[in-house]
């Protein structure tokens, strides 16, 4: 891990543990010992996050702990039980089939976080599988969780990525890997669904109270804490989906067991940032009906929220009608929150200082033009910052990819008029604002695939290069310009499935 050192960092044995989730009863989780990973190789270690956690990166025990070959000092790992709606169908028994919470610690700033190993072997919830993760999907999750964090989108984080020559059978024979991921909580919608649908309603309150105490402390002493907490959860969820939409991100498997109770992006499987913009883009080739396509994500977020709210009926009131009324009021917050957040973010991407009547139509027209042309989503919005209000010059960088130039030029005329309608219009200042919300670099599928292929040959330099690049997604990085290019034609339609 190098000689990286910062004053105040501590070896793992000295970090302050705070085992709140593990302190819940065995109804919520099961103790599990990780399966040792043979011949572990550290592909990448996130030193920036380690320092944030207060971890001494020179601790010699790190590699063994982060590969599952040694326990975290004084903490017994646990795997959580949950259920969920998968592709709309109810599945009554799921759980952490290959994830183990290996520690709960307090950061130097006082925030409590949990650390999980993903791919550390079988658990009681593995459903006959091996509990392993493969290097291919582990690299994608490791890179994308940190890329999303740098974009300002709520997400789980990644501390380390360890590989092994240990064989793992998927569609083909692959090799194993373990990611250590970090979050304030890994509780999902599906954990509440598990107890509600089993009729174990007495288990709902302790789990809800745990989440509220650790992550919504301002609500702890309120008699209406469950309703107020759910309002915040639903609003966080709506805002998260708005952020996904406006950065062109598709999750791929928006099952309720993959939805975080904190509104975090959770469980990176067959995700994708769109290259060519398509309103109906489906990034998961296993999603045969397109349930989780780009244009469906807002409605799926609302549907998942309705599933969570149903589970909370027993906590909201002993009167069924009153509980239903409370749930209805909370449910209706989703659509208004999403609409307001998405519209504001689209307006920010266009450099508009405020949202006005007619802006929704302006945005919709642009998206229709980009969709018809299959224009590159990320590059198009980045290049819109070049439009000037003091000139009628063509919108270079965007116009070259447009099929219907007449429609686009008419849109640019209206866009310029909208920009000019704002006082103190300054093109340079507006361009700077736009470039802080329209990334130049995202984790495109072909970039991740190149890093995967190199790492499979024990060359981890591309993983490290992408981590450096994606930590600064909004900055011009002249020596990394090639990473901002659209993918070559033969790599524009890489398909990602659920197997990992």
Residues 327 and 430 in one domain: no
pLDDT of residue 498: 59
Residues 175 and 218 in one domain: no
Which one, of 84, 115, 100, 127, lies nearest residue 30 by Cα?
Answer: 100
What is the arithmetic mean of pLDDT over 356-374? 97
Say whether 426 counts as a known binding-site residue: no
pLDDT of residue 1: 44
Residues 36 and 153 in one domain: yes
Mean of pLDDT over the chain: 94
Residues 202 and 226 in one domain: yes
pLDDT of residue 2: 42
Distance of CA 2 to the CA centre of its chain: 29
Residues 98 and 126 in one domain: yes
Residues 216 and 287 in one domain: yes
Say whether 97 counts as a known binding-site residue: yes
Res. 5 pLDDT band, cuts 50 70 90: very low
- Is residue 53 scored above 70 in pLDDT? yes
Res. 263 pLDDT band, cuts 50 70 90: very high
In a domain, 463, yes or no: no
Residues 317 and 415 in one domain: no
pLDDT of residue 395: 87
Tell me which of 415, 434, 453 is where a domain ends. Answer: 434
User: Which residues have C-beta within 8 Å of that of residue 128, sequence separation ≥ 6?
Assistant: none
Res. 3 pLDDT band, cuts 50 70 90: very low
Res. 9 pLDDT band, cuts 50 70 90: confident
Tell me which of 405, 434, 463 is where a domain ends. Answer: 434
In a domain, 328, yes or no: yes
Residues 222 and 305 in one domain: yes
Tell me whether strands 89-91 and 249-250 are parallel, antiparallel or unpaired.
Answer: unpaired
Res. 494 pLDDT band, cuts 50 70 90: low
Please tell me which residue in 56, 59, 96, 257 is annotated as part of the active site.
Answer: 257
The Cα–Cα gap between 181 and 133 comes to: 13
Say whether 98 counts as a known binding-site residue: yes
Say whether 95 counts as a known binding-site residue: yes
In a domain, 469, yes or no: no
Say whether 130 counts as a known binding-site residue: yes
The DSSP-derived string for 362-401 is: HHHHHHHHHHHHT-BHHHHHHHGGG--SS-----TTTGGG
Number of domains in the chain: 3
* Residue in the block written with tokens 């008419």: 410
Q: What range does the domain containing 65 cover?
A: 12-186
User: Model confidence over 442-460: pLDDT tens digits?
Assistant: 999 999 999 999 999 999 9
Residues 251 and 134 in one domain: no
Tell me which of 331, 348, 365 is where a domain ends. Answer: 348
Which residues in 231-320 belong to E strands, given as ranges?
Answer: 249-250, 272-273
Compute the radius of gyration of the chain from its Cα atoms: 23
**Six-digit token string for 453:** 């292929």
Residues 344 and 354 in one domain: no
- Is residue 497 scored above 70 in pLDDT? no
The Cα–Cα gap between 496 and 139 comes to: 13
In a domain, 386, yes or no: yes
User: Model confidence over 469-488: pLDDT tens digits?
Assistant: 999 999 999 999 999 999 98
Annotation says 359 is catalytic: no
User: Model confidence over 24-37: pLDDT tens digits?
Assistant: 999 999 999 999 99
Say whether 188 counts as a known binding-site residue: yes
Residues 110 and 203 in one domain: no
The count of residues in the chain is 500
pLDDT of residue 59: 85
Residues 214 and 321 in one domain: yes
- Is residue 113 scored above 80 in pLDDT? yes
**Six-digit token string for 54:** 């207060």
């Amino acid at each position: 891990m190098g000689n990286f050192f910062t004053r105040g960092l501590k070896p793992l044995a000295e970090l302050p543990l705070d085992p709140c989730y593990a302190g819940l009863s065995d109804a919520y989780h099961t103790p599990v010992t990780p399966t040792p990973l043979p011949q572990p190789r550290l592909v990448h270690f996130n030193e920036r996050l380690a320092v944030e956690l207060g971890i001494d990166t020179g601790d010699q025990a790190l590699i063994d702990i982060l590969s599952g070959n040694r326990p975290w000092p004084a903490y017994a790992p646990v795997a959580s039980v949950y259920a969920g709606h998968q592709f709309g169908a109810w599945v009554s028994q799921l759980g952490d089939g290959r994830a183990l919470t290996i520690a709960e610690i307090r950061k130097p700033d006082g925030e409590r976080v949990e650390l999980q190993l993903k791919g550390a072997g079988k658990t009681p919830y593995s459903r006959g599988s091996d509990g392993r993760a493969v290097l291919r999907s582990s690299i994608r999750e490791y890179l994308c969780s940190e890329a999303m964090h740098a974009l300002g989108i709520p997400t789980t984080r990644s501390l380390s990525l360890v590989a092994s020559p240990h064989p793992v059978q998927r569609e083909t024979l692959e090799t194993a890997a373990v990611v250590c991921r970090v979050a304030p909580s890994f509780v999902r919608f599906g954990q509440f669904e598990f107890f509600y649908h089993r009729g174990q309603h007495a288990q709902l309150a302790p789990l809800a109270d745990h989440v509220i105490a650790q992550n919504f402390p301002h609500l702890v002493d309120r008699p209406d804490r469950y309703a107020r907490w759910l309002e915040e959860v639903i609003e966080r969820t709506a805002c998260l989906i708005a952020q996904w939409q406006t950065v062109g991100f598709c999750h791929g498997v928006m099952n309720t067991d993959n939805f975080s109770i904190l509104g975090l992006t959770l469980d990176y499987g067959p995700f994708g940032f769109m290259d060519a913009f398509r309103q109906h883009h489906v990034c998961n080739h296993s999603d045969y009906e397109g349930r989780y396509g780009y244009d469906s994500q807002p409605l799926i977020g609302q549907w998942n929220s309705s599933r969570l709210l149903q589970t909370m009926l027993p906590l909201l009131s002993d009167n069924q009608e009153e509980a239903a009324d409370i749930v209805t009021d909370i449910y209706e917050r989703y659509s208004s929150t999403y609409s307001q957040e998405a519209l504001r973010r689209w307006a920010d991407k266009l450099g508009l200082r405020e949202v006005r009547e007619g802006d929704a139509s302006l945005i919709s027209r642009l998206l229709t033009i980009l969709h018809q042309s299959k224009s590159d989503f990320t590059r198009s919005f980045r290049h819109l910052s070049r439009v000037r209000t003091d000139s009628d010059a063509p919108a270079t960088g965007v116009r070259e990819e447009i099929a219907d130039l007449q429609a686009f030029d008419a849109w640019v005329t209206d866009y310029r008029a909208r920009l000019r309608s704002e006082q103190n219009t300054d093109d340079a200042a507006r361009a700077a604002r736009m470039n802080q919300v329209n990334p130049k670099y995202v984790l495109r599928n072909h970039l991740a695939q190149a890093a995967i292929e190199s790492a499979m040959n024990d060359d981890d330099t591309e993983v490290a290069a992408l981590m450096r690049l994606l930590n600064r997604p909004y900055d011009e990085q002249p020596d990394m310009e090639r990473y901002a290019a659209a993918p070559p034609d033969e790599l524009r339609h890489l398909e990602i499935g659920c197997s990992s």
